[in-house]
């Protein structure tokens, strides 16, 4: 008799699939396809196999992740029970390996037809003694599949056919846009654009996000599907690509798996954990969107398009988030999201627990390659996580949300580390930047300094002069500061900055150990609008949802 089998579904090279194109519409469509086929699309494929599936238990957790542990976590009459779905991954409990194979076969066929280019992997674990051990085995097999080389090689376009400008594959579909840009594109690109549709005829991706964040949008307002609708002005606009990721999620998941005493408890703990993480991320995003909506009337510098909400979530639904917005609001909104994320709770083994996240913000010209901008944002998020680990090396709780950012000009091909090594040293050898910053700690000082430089006592020309002096080093900075003092203009005096920095612009011991708290705010001066409140902690609540309550 065949044993029960747990099948765990995941994606391979998902970032490349989503951010392969420089067209925002294709990025949005790809993200929607990846999300849909690990959620409703997967359920549809199961049902098409004439296989009975139970989603009621999972839906109960979706409504209330803090629900009491049920007596029976599995409907034994069903061929397939959903353990969890959504957020780019899924896990199913099947009556047998044969049933799991049938489901995967049908689902894979649907993907090839309706989401070409989306690479996926599935790991199996047969239930021999417990669901925990089977789930562990499925995860291990999934990891092996994800790390393995793809079978064969992708067939690109031939010299005698048109080439898709987005993917480099054979162009076999004709695309017609609202702005009269008609072109031949590949099936992969076409499937992504179809999900978004046009402004006049929105597709499934637009309809889904409009419904999900209906409480945020005003009447007839919709999310942007083009980068030039995010609020910038023609010829001088920048966008901010923001990527945030929860901290320590793998360790928490391991605790959830290992601590369960029996199969029912395992399923209960895993479902509650999965749902609460997704709800927390969505709640923090919704509050950020609501806050931004309320701030829009004050942000006079934004060039708003009629009925367009000037921020676009691209990846959301799990513990990670990627969104794009005008370059002058990305820093503030990223910090606001991190703060709201840290205020919420998730369910870990029956208790409400706080978690935090890190984020990277890449500010780039609008025409900058989008895939490369995302890679920078991802690397900056990794930099923030590294700094968090270093700062908490002797702290068992490892608390703190951190944010790193970089302003990147056209033509930059270096890594973040290489860029900072070469260009973020003064002529005397001191490191110029102090980022990453901890939210509601060093970040508040950073914002306070920046806004002091935006005051009338520090006109733009004088601020740029100080930036140039800092690049020269402490000696040139000291001369510049003395010159400003003769005009009764002092360096910004905020809490957390020692007296040496206030007098000379630099702090620290020996010549090579000095650092400056002023370079980062000065560099970001053009990328922080005055209409925002002094810092996220002083902003009013954008909504009522806070993830799990204490």
Fold match between domain 5-147 and domain 222-538: yes
DSSP 261-286: -SHHHHHHHHHHHHHHHHHHHHHHHH
H/E element holding 323?
strand 320-326
Considering the domain 222-538, what is its CATH architecture? Answer: 2-Layer Sandwich (3.30)
How confident is the model at residue 185, as a pLDDT?
A: 86
Phi and psi at residue 102, in whole multiples of 5°?
A: -65, -40
Q: For the full predicted model, state whether its pTM sits above 0.75.
A: yes
Q: What is the pLDDT of residue 181?
A: 67
Right CATH for 5-147 from 2.30.30, 1.10.3470, 3.30.70, 3.40.120:
3.30.70
When pLDDT is cut at 50, 70 and 90, the band that residue 545 belongs to is very low
What share of the chain in percent tops pLDDT 70?
92
pLDDT > 70? residue 306: yes
> Strands 311-315, 320-326: parallel, antiparallel or unpaired by DSSP?
antiparallel
State pLDDT tens for residues 378-437: 999 999 999 999 988 877 666 799 999 999 988 788 899 999 999 999 999 999 999 999
Strands (E), 412-548: 437-438
Mean pLDDT for the chain overall: 88
CA distance linking residue 298 with residue 482, whole number of Å: 36
Please, which pLDDT band fits residue 543 given cuts at 50, 70 and 90? very low
Distance separating alpha carbons of residues 216 and 544, to the nearest angstrom: 12
pLDDT number for residue 550: 37
Q: 170 pLDDT exceeds 90?
A: no
**Domain residues of the chain, as ranges?**
5-147, 222-538
State the Rg of the chain over Cα: 25
Residues 132-164 have pLDDT tens digits of: 999 999 999 999 988 776 655 565 656 667 888
pLDDT of residue 547: 55
Taken as a whole, the chain contains a residue count of 550
Q: Answer whether residue 535 shows pLDDT above 60.
A: no
In DSSP notation, 73-111 reads -S-TTSSEEEEEEETTEEEEEESSHHHHHHHHHHHHHHH
Dump pLDDT digits (tens) for 189-207: 899 999 998 878 899 999 9
Nearest residue to 347 via CA among 286, 283, 271, 399: 271
Q: Taking Cα atoms as reference points, which of 508, 451, 333, 471 lies closest to residue 403?
A: 333
Pairing of strands 402-407, 357-365: parallel
């Amino acid at each position: 008799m065949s044993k029960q089998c747990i099948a765990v579904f995941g994606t391979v090279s998902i970032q490349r699939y989503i951010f392969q194109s420089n067209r925002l519409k294709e990025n949005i469509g790809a993200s929607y396809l990846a999300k849909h086929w690990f959620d409703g699309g997967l359920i549809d494929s199961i049902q098409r196999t004439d296989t009975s599936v139970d989603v009621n238990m999972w839906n109960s957790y979706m409504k209330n992740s803090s629900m009491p542990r049920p007596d029976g976590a599995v409907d034994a009459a069903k061929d397939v029970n959903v353990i969890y779905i959504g957020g780019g991954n899924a896990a199913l409990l099947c009556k047998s390996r044969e049933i799991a194979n049938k489901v995967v076969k049908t689902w894979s066929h649907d993907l090839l037809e309706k989401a070409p280019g989306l690479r996926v992997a599935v790991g199996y674990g047969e239930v021999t003694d417990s669901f925990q051990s089977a789930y562990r085995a499925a995860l291990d097999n999934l990891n092996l599949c994800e790390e393995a080389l793809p079978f064969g090689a992708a067939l690109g376009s031939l010299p005698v056919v048109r080439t898709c400008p987005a993917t480099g594959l054979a162009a076999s579909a004709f695309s017609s846009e609202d702005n009269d840009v008609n072109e031949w594109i590949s099936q992969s690109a076409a499937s992504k654009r179809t999900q978004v549709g046009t402004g006049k005829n929105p597709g499934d991706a637009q309809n889904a996000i409009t419904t999900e964040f209906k409480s945020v949008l005003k009447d007839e307002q919709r999310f942007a599907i083009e980068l030039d609708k995010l609020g910038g002005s023609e010829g001088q606009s920048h966008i901010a690509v923001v990527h945030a990721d929860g901290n320590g999620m793998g360790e928490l998941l391991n605790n959830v798996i290992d601590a369960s005493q029996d199969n029912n408890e395992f399923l209960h703990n895993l479902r509650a954990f999965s749902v609460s993480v997704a709800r927390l991320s969505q709640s923090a995003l919704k509050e950020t969107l609501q806050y931004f909506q309320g701030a829009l009337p004050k942000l006079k510098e934004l060039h708003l398009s009629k009925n367009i909400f000037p921020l676009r979530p691209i990846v959301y639904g799990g513990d990670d988030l990627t969104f794009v917005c005008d370059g002058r609001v990305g820093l503030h909104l990223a910090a606001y999201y991190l703060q709201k994320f840290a205020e919420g709770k998730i369910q870990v083994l029956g208790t409400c627990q706080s978690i935090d996240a890190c984020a990277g913000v890449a500010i780039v010209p609008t025409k900058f390659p989008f895939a490369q901008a995302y890679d920078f944002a991802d690397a900056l998020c990794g930099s923030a996580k590294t700094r968090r680990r270093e700062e908490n090396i002797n702290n068992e709780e490892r608390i703190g949300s951190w944010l790193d950012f970089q302003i990147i000009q056209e033509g930059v091909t270096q890594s973040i580390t290489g860029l900072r090594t070469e260009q973020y040293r003064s002529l005397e050898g001191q490191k110029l930047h102090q980022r990453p910053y901890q939210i509601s700690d060093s970040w508040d000082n950073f914002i306070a300094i920046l806004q002091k430089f935006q005051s009338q006592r520090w006109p733009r020309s004088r601020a740029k002069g100080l930036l140039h002096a800092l690049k020269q080093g402490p000696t040139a900075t000291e001369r510049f500061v003395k010159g400003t003092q003769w005009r009764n203009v002092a360096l910004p005096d905020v809490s957390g900055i020692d007296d040496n920095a206030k007098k000379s612009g630099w702090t620290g011991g020996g010549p090579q150990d000095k650092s400056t708290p002023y370079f980062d705010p000065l560099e970001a001066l053009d990328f922080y609008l005055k209409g925002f409140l002094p810092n996220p902690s002083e902003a009013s609540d954008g909504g009522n949802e806070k993830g799990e309550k204490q």
